[in-house]
Structure 1
Amino acid sequence: MNPLQAQELAADHRIDITAETCPMTFVRTRLALDRMEKGQTLLVRLRGEEPRRNVPRTAGEQGHAVLAQQDLPDGTMLLLLRKG
């Protein structure tokens, strides 16, 4: 099991935003983060080039940590965030 898979199993919260488009991808991510306690982790599954660039960047700008990113064979990406 790679490290992201191990962290994925231990994520405190998970959201799937593969059906969303920007800017709703980060809106949904931010809403999830807003409901979490500081230090908790959120696993985000997303799709598309724009969300791949914008969600991690914007999360970092808002004080959250990007712990891991992994591209999957189905064209989606897993993004593990820690609420700051």
Structure 2
Amino acid sequence: MTSPLPVHHKAIDITAETCPMTFVRTRLALDTIQTGEILLVRLKGADPLANVPRAAADQGHDPLELLEQPDGSWLLVIQKG
């Protein structure tokens, strides 16, 4: 059983992507939501885990949580700044 997802306005899965496409996909998704809304990003691997939250923060967004999932992926919760 998977845990319920945090409240969000949009969700993307970038587990198959590699850097720098991980943040490109994240940024494009952020561009489609309003300031203050929540984007969920499913990601996997050391580079995306380190780079996507940092890059989002550098762009003025707020990485709120990083939640480990049972399948080994992570859910990054970003509030658009």
Matching of residue 30 in structure 1 with residue 27 in structure 2: yes
RMSD: 1.4
Identity among equivalent positions (%) equals 56
State how 1:1-84 maps to structure 2 within 5 Å: 5=4, 8=6, 10-84=7-81
> Which contiguous aligned blocks of 4+ residues in structure 1 show a shift greater than 3 angstroms?
none
Greater fraction helix = 1
Unaligned runs of 5+ in 2: none
TM-score (norm 1): 0.88
Deviation at 1:73, TM superposition (A): 2.6
Q: Distance in 2 between matches of 1:21 and 1:65?
A: 22
Q: CA deviation at 1:71?
A: 1.5
Gaps of 5+ in 1: none
**What SS does the aligned partner of 2:22 have?**
helix
Structure 2 counterpart of 1:21, which letter? T
Number of equivalent positions:
79
